[in-house]
Amino acid sequence: MSRSHAERAELALLLEVAGTPKPGNVDRHRDHDDLRFEHFLAGAVGASEGLRAAATGEPVGSAFETAVEGMSNQEGDNTQFGCLLLLVPLVRAASRGRLTRDGVREVCEATTVADAAGFYRAFEHVDVALADPPEGMDALDARRGSDAIPELEARELSLYDVMERSDGDGNAAEWTSGFPRTFREVERIRADDGPVPDRASRAFVRLLAEQEDGFVRDTAGPEAAREATRRAQACLRGAEDPERLADEFVERGINPGTTADLTCAALYVALERGMAV
C-alpha cells in the first residue's frame, strides 16, 4: 500500500489523537470542555490541502497557513496548530527525499520573510494560547497576526529567525535544531510493537517524562509543568496509572500540547520510514 507524503501526515494527525491515554490531552475516551475528539478528526481532514501544498513545493509559510485555515474548519477551535508547524517542514523535506535531521534543517533555514508572514497570518484563523513575547519583541507578538507583518519586513526576519527568537517554545526548539526529539522518538516508536495508537500513547508519556511541556508551563504554570513530567516518569516506572492520570489532568486543565505535537511529528516520520498501518 502506497500513500503520498501528505496522506501520511494526515494519518499521523489521526493516529496522534487516537492514542489513548495521553494524560491531559483529548483522546478516544476524553474530551475537553471546548474541544472534542471529533474536532481533531475534522481538523486532520481539513489540514490536508495545506499538507499537499507542502509536498508539492508551495512555500512553507503559505502551506502552513493553508493547513491551519483548513484545520480550523470544525466546530472547535485550535486542534492541531503546533502539529502542523512541525509537519509542514517535515513533509517538505520528505518530498525532496531528504527526511533526515539535516534535510529538515535545510528546509527551515531556507525560509523567508514571506514564510514568516504566512505564519503570522495563520494566527488569524484560530485562537492560539501563547506566552508573552520576549523582551524587544512586542511588535512581533504573533497574536497581532498580519498587523505584525510590516515589522517582520522592516527587520527582514525569516520564519527561521522568528523561531530562533521564540525562547522556551518546544516546537521552535525543534525547528532550530534539526528536530532532535522528533527523530529520537521515531526509533523508539518503530522498535515498539502492538497497535499504533497504543504506541502513540507510550511515545507521548516518554516524551513528557523526559522534558517539561512548554504549553503546560505557559497555561498552567511552572509547577504544573514540573508535576506533569514527574508523574509521567512515575507512569514509566509503573508507579502511576496513565489512565487515572489522564482523567485527573483533563479535570485540572493540565494539557501537554507541545508533547502531543512532538508525538505527531514522530509518528509521521515513522510512517515515512515504513511503519505499517
What's the rounded mean pLDDT across residues 210-228? 97
Residue 63 included in any domain: yes
The per-residue pLDDT for range 254-270, each reduced to its tens digit, is 999 999 999 999 999 99
Cell numbers of 159, please? 520564519
What's the length of the chain?
277
pLDDT at 24: 98
Statement: residue 136 has pLDDT above 90: no
Residue 277 included in any domain: no
Statement: residue 155 has pLDDT above 70: yes
What's the rounded mean pLDDT across residues 19-39? 97
What are the residues whose beta carbons fall under 8 Å from the beta carbon of 247, sequence distance 6 or more? 30
Statement: residue 168 has pLDDT above 90: no
- Report how many domains make up the chain: 1
Statement: residue 138 has pLDDT above 90: no
φ/ψ (deg, to 5) at 274? 105, 5
Task: Identify the domain containing residue 170 by its residue range.
Answer: 5-272
One-letter amino acid for residue 195 of the chain: P
One-letter amino acid for residue 159 of the chain: L
What's the rounded mean pLDDT across residues 67-84? 96
Residue 96 included in any domain: yes
Distance CA 26, CA 255 (A): 9
> Cell 513545493 maps to which residue?
57
Cα separations (Å) of 134 from 6, 47, 118, 137?
A: 34, 30, 21, 6
Cell numbers of 89, please? 517542514
**Percent of the chain, pLDDT > 70?**
100
Statement: residue 134 has pLDDT above 90: no
Residue 67 included in any domain: yes
Residue 203 included in any domain: yes
- What angle (nearest 5°) sits at the alpha carbon of residue 79, between those of residues 140 and 110? 45
What's the rounded mean pLDDT across residues 107-127? 97
What's the rounded mean pLDDT across residues 216-230? 97
Within the chain, how many helices (H) and strands (E) appear? 16, 0
Residue 129 included in any domain: yes
- pLDDT bracket for residue 10 (50, 70, 90): very high
Buried b (16+ CB within 10 A) or exposed e, 92-118: bbbbeeebebebbbbbbeebbbbbbbb
- What angle (nearest 5°) sits at the alpha carbon of residue 172, between those of residues 95 and 245? 100
Q: What is the mean pLDDT of the chain?
A: 96
pLDDT at 153: 96
What are the residues whose beta carbons fall under 8 Å from the beta carbon of 136, sequence distance 6 or more? none
Statement: residue 160 has pLDDT above 70: yes
The per-residue pLDDT for range 31-57, each reduced to its tens digit, is 999 999 999 999 999 999 999 999 999
What's the rounded mean pLDDT across residues 165-182? 95
If we measure between CA atoms, which residue out of 176, 237, 168 comes closest to residue 206?
237
pLDDT at 1: 63
- Quickly list DSSP for 99-135: -SHHHHHHHHHT--HHHHHHHHHHTTTS----PPPPT
Q: What is the CATH number of the domain that holds 55?
A: 1.10.4200.10
27 pairs with which residues across the strands?
A: 30
Residue 202 included in any domain: yes
What's the rounded mean pLDDT across residues 73-91? 96
30 pairs with which residues across the strands?
A: 27
What are the residues whose beta carbons fall under 8 Å from the beta carbon of 2, sequence distance 6 or more? none
* pTM for the structure as a whole: 0.97
